[in-house]
Structure 1
Amino acid sequence: MLMNLFAKLNDLFPDTMPYKSNVPFIAVILLGVTLSSCIATKPYEKPDIATENLYPFEQVELDSTTLADMPWQQVFRDPRLRDLIEEALDHNLELQSAIQQIRIAEANFFEGRMSMLPNLSAGADVSYNEQSDNSVNFGEGLDNISIPASEQYAVSLSSSWELDVWGKLTSAKKASFAALLQTEATRRAVQTTLIANVASTYYRLLALDKQLEITRQTVENRRRDVETVRSLKESDMVTGVSLQQSIANRYAAEVTIPEIEQQITVQEHALSMLLGRAPGSIERTSLSEQHPIDSLATGIPAQLLRNRPDIIAAEYSFRNAFELTNNARAYFYPSFTLTARGGYQSLQTEDLFQPGSLFYNLAAGLTQPIFNRGQNRARLKRSKARQKQALLELRSTILDASSEVSNTLSAFQKAEQKLQLRQNQLEALEHAVEFSRELLQYGEANYTEVLTTQQQLLSAQISNINDRLQQLTAGVDLYRALGGGWEKPAENQRVQNESRE
């Protein structure tokens, strides 16, 4: 390897150059500092994160199948909901802001990558110089001699290059690349959250529609009850108190209608904001047409690390901090710079581009920090602390993800149990309301019993809608908690490309 380096340097420098004999010495120096760059920087290694017991084993059966691998178009079957999600992905303002953050990170990475190259600039100079007669003494008898004015013209190219022998620039480039990947992962996290929010808000709208439908039907039933009780009072089978109770019972149900309508308006406006449009009505289907997710496959814990965008972003944040620590460590070592300048210089414009006007100079410099008021030491200390902080945030993000998966699984399973029990309650209450009305007509029961069973039935119907909503939203939350809702690019190829750069 060393002999190949000698040969390349010999080819670069012609035999007539005065420092031809120093080429082997230069090669040894360059090879030595290149090998010693390993001292300043360390190769990146993924943090060791324990994935055991991330999922409660009593809740799931662990296998390689995961709900997160399903495209969101297959998870959400309602065509109107799919259209709304598409609109949100195209126009949501928070998602658009996250995309612009990626553009900023791309520019930072481009800047870091280009810092590895030498800079090049062009210049043109014109100077006019006239000396004072009293500023120069030529000796006795030559006092009358004056210095004529002179003009000088020059065009030149200049370049400088900092050799990255300690990996300082490379570490900065790798840190900016990790920051770029972090912004991309953050954008995916925003997208998965957006899809989940659109679906959950849509389901809440459908649940409110169903509540409004049931409440209006209840009001209509209680209007008929009022007429029934009025007829019974005319037959002296009930008192006026029962009639007034029936009227109040009707208005007690009817007064909730404006409140439900207001909640519908609020949810429509919230969904409009997610879609990036002005507040307005939302076209939708009905709650009865919705189906909960038919898969609770969570996959293995290692897949959670691969699928969750926030975990991916946290890991890239740690990598960014790791590379910045390498960069801070390299500041303790000397910096090597090469500078060059060349062009044409002449006292007459007509001679400017003649061969005799050609000039050039080359220079090499080395700067070793000795006393920098503690800035290098403070920089390294900050970088190490941020690296540890990023590692702690990564572990915290993984624990939060595990907790979210466990909670949403439990919510989904409990909602299913409640729906089964609630159905039994509804059947019993419907029979109770029917029997109490019949008994009232025959004078075997008072209106208080009818009123009590009606109120219980309405409450159970509203609770049944909430149980249904909990089942649907728990499925949405589980899909998001597992990292579903974004297309997974070939991350391995990205890492390979980065390592080659």
Structure 2
Amino acid sequence: MALRYCRLVLVFFVLAALAGCAGTTHRVSKSKLDEEIKYPDAFSFSGTGAVYDGKWWEVFGISELNILMEQMLENNKEIAGSYEGLKALQAALGISTADRMPSLSLETSAGDTYSTTGGSREWRDSYDISLTASYEVDIWGRIRSAVESDRMALLSGRFDTESLYMTLTAEFADRYFLYKSLASVLKMQEEILTLRQKQVKVLEMTYTSGIGSLDSIYTKQTTIAVLLEDISETKQSMLEAKYQMALLLGEADAGSVKISDSYNLAIPDLPEIIPGNIAEKRPDIRSAYASVLQINSDVAQAMANRYPKLSFSASAGYSGDEISSLITPENFVTKLIANLTAPIFDAGNLKNQQLRQEYLLKQEIQNYYQAVLEGLKEVSDSLADNMQNEQALKLSQKKVGIEENRLRIAEMKYKSGIEDYSTVLDNKISLLSGWITEVNARRSLISSRVELARASGGSWADGLVDERLAGLPDLQETR
């Protein structure tokens, strides 16, 4: 008996040693994948400024925006839900990791056995209590591959959360700058309305004196009606922007969002972005690579499922027919069982499962390539938009300068008695319209800067995830 147990133990340790070198998952190399992508040396358009490191919205230097952004990061419901999803993935990793360890269970049973012996029939009681340990030897790396798959799923989910940070911060900043721009436009529209109303009064005075025409009054009144519609639309757009910010802040009431109407928005320099760095900085691309590694582990697991499985179980306990004297040396029982299970015929089930995972891996690799290409395109398009909007802002500023000169000349002529005051009013309105165009152009350029910050990625969200999930295992991406 002792010799038999020794042989079983010897087999166990030999197979356990084999498990350490068998079934190793072949990791898909990121450098090999990137060899298939022809990264351009530089983008067609690029700046010369510093890359937006850290929390990119802080480069605008607006304390109000910084405070609101921190509130959004803390209270946003979509972000909170993403963390609950990460915790679920962490639990799944814990489940697969537990399979690598032996299981221990306590079993008890009681029963009656009816038997016929020597022509007599009788009932016999039986009682059992035992402690059972079982363990599967991971010879081919099946369990290890399952753990690695769940670990990569968790890593991919982490990067998805970082991508969510990128998207939501850009969306919130864009709504914030939209609201500020609309507030400035509204003030100028109301000034234009005041000037238009003055024009109507002047025309009415000249008409009553027999000089003006009624048609010119109606024309100005029509212009005022159109302007009132524009003012109403601006107010509605401001309210919608506030509602969108409230939603991102996790609030139901737009009135809870307090934003000043002051408008003094500085535009940061256009940063220099290197194409080859995009794959390292964008979390969505890193998530795509983690998904490749996840499916790669699933392939290894499917391969291991086609090989025999070896498991051991050992139990020790007591078995007897009297519960009062159950736990005695005479009733002590031990068992050691080795179980080897190998698939013989399954009509190609396991083979097709492996093929399925291999095809899914190829599909995921193509998805990774697509994510990289889309990332490069987004950055390239954003840089082009930034350059175009910079030119548009310069042109609008030049037009404002011309309108300012025209207004000065009109005021000089009015003071000299050469022109009447209606000309001054027209030039003031033209200048205000030019300022509105400049504000809109500035807002478009700021929006382009925000989109570039999102498209170019960054590592700032990594620290936020670490703070919120300090208890997670080390998830540093392995190259």
TM-score w.r.t. length of structure 1: 0.84
Give the AA of the match of 2:333: F
Alignment-derived partner of residue 349 in structure 2: 375
CA distance in 2, matches of 1:495, 1:268: 37
Post-superposition shift, 1:19?
Answer: 5.0
Secondary structure of 2:127's aligned partner: strand
Deviations 1:220-256 (A, max 9, x none): 1111111222333345443222222223223322232
Determine if the alignment matches structure 1 residue 296 to structure 2 residue 303: no
CA distance in 2, matches of 1:241, 1:408: 48
Determine if the alignment matches structure 1 residue 59 to structure 2 residue 45: yes
Alignment-derived partner of residue 469 in structure 2: none
Secondary structure of 1:338's aligned partner: strand
Q: Are 2:166 and 2:461, in contact at CA under 8 Å, matched by a contact in 1? A: no
Residue number among 109, 120, 127 corresponding to 2:111 in the alignment:
127
Residue number among 106, 109, 118 corresponding to 2:93 in the alignment:
109
Give the AA of the match of 1:191: Y
- Cα 1:244/1:43, change in 2 over 3 Å: closer
Secondary structure of 2:226's aligned partner: helix
Alignment-derived partner of residue 220 in structure 1: 194
Secondary structure of 1:217's aligned partner: helix
CA distance in 2, matches of 1:246, 1:33: 89
Alignment map for 1:245-264 (pairs within 5 Å): 245-264=219-238
Residue number among 188, 194, 200 corresponding to 2:162 in the alignment:
188
Secondary structure of 1:120's aligned partner: strand
Alignment-derived partner of residue 360 in structure 2: 386
Query: What percent of counterpart residues are identical?
Result: 23
Q: Are 1:56 and 1:406, in contact at CA under 8 Å, matched by a contact in 2? A: no
Alignment-derived partner of residue 17 in structure 1: 3
Alignment-derived partner of residue 337 in structure 2: 363
Post-superposition shift, 1:89?
Answer: 0.9
User: CA RMSD, aligned part only?
Assistant: 3.3
Q: Are 2:23 and 2:142, in contact at CA under 8 Å, matched by a contact in 1? A: no
Alignment-derived partner of residue 80 in structure 1: 64
CA distance in 2, matches of 1:371, 1:20: 33
Residue number among 229, 232, 243 corresponding to 1:269 in the alignment:
243
- Cα 1:251/1:450, change in 2 over 3 Å: farther
Post-superposition shift, 1:112?
Answer: 0.8
Alignment map for 1:303-382 (pairs within 5 Å): 303-382=277-356
Alignment-derived partner of residue 185 in structure 2: 211
- Cα 1:278/1:125, change in 2 over 3 Å: same
Q: Are 1:233 and 1:239, in contact at CA under 8 Å, matched by a contact in 2? A: yes
Alignment-derived partner of residue 238 in structure 1: 212
- Cα 1:496/1:397, change in 2 over 3 Å: closer
Post-superposition shift, 1:353?
Answer: 1.2
Give the AA of the match of 1:112: S
CA distance in 2, matches of 1:462, 1:485: 37
CA distance in 2, matches of 1:430, 1:487: 45
CA distance in 2, matches of 1:23, 1:123: 24
Determine if the alignment matches structure 1 residue 486 to structure 2 residue 460: yes
CA distance in 1, matches of 2:442, 2:292: 41
Determine if the alignment matches structure 1 residue 472 to structure 2 residue 446: yes
Post-superposition shift, 1:269?
Answer: 0.7
Secondary structure of 1:373's aligned partner: coil
Post-superposition shift, 1:29?
Answer: 5.5
Q: Are 1:194 and 1:274, in contact at CA under 8 Å, matched by a contact in 2? A: yes
Q: Are 1:54 and 1:399, in contact at CA under 8 Å, matched by a contact in 2? A: no
Secondary structure of 1:59's aligned partner: coil
Give the AA of the match of 2:51: T
Alignment-derived partner of residue 260 in structure 2: 285
CA distance in 2, matches of 1:204, 1:280: 15
Greater Rg, structure 1 or structure 2? 1
Q: Are 1:127 and 1:153, in contact at CA under 8 Å, matched by a contact in 2? A: yes
CA distance in 1, matches of 2:226, 2:381: 36
Alignment-derived partner of residue 79 in structure 2: 95
Q: Structure 1 stretch 96-105 or stretch 154-163: which is displaced more?
A: 154-163
CA distance in 2, matches of 1:453, 1:55: 50
- Cα 1:366/1:218, change in 2 over 3 Å: same
Q: Structure 1 stretch 233-242 or stretch 326-335: which is displaced more?
A: 233-242
Residue number among 105, 108, 118 corresponding to 2:102 in the alignment:
118
Q: Are 1:160 and 1:337, in contact at CA under 8 Å, matched by a contact in 2? A: yes
Q: Structure 1 stretch 406-415 or stretch 109-118: which is displaced more?
A: 406-415
CA distance in 2, matches of 1:237, 1:458: 29
- Cα 1:359/1:497, change in 2 over 3 Å: farther
Give the AA of the match of 1:426: V
Determine if the alignment matches structure 1 residue 423 to structure 2 residue 397: yes
Deviations 1:432-459 (A, max 9, x none): 56767969x9898998x99997886565
CA distance in 2, matches of 1:485, 1:233: 68
Q: Structure 1 stretch 357-366 or stretch 231-240: which is displaced more?
A: 231-240
Q: Are 2:19 and 2:141, in contact at CA under 8 Å, matched by a contact in 1? A: no
Residue number among 141, 144, 150 corresponding to 1:176 in the alignment:
150
Post-superposition shift, 1:170?
Answer: 0.3
Alignment-derived partner of residue 407 in structure 1: 381
Structure 2 residue ranges without an equivalent (≥5): 467-472
CA distance in 2, matches of 1:29, 1:484: 46
TM-score w.r.t. length of structure 2: 0.87
Q: Are 2:318 and 2:327, in contact at CA under 8 Å, matched by a contact in 1? A: yes
Q: Are 1:162 and 1:335, in contact at CA under 8 Å, matched by a contact in 2? A: yes
- Cα 1:225/1:433, change in 2 over 3 Å: farther
CA distance in 1, matches of 2:421, 2:477: 81
Q: How many residues matched?
A: 467
CA distance in 1, matches of 2:436, 2:476: 55
CA distance in 2, matches of 1:173, 1:494: 14
Structure 1 residue ranges without an equivalent (≥5): 1-14, 139-144
Deviations 1:408-444 (A, max 9, x none): 22222222211111122223345556767969x9898
Q: Structure 1 stretch 236-245 or stretch 414-423: which is displaced more?
A: 236-245
Deviations 1:262-308 (A, max 9, x none): 1111111111001100132332234632211235132x334322221
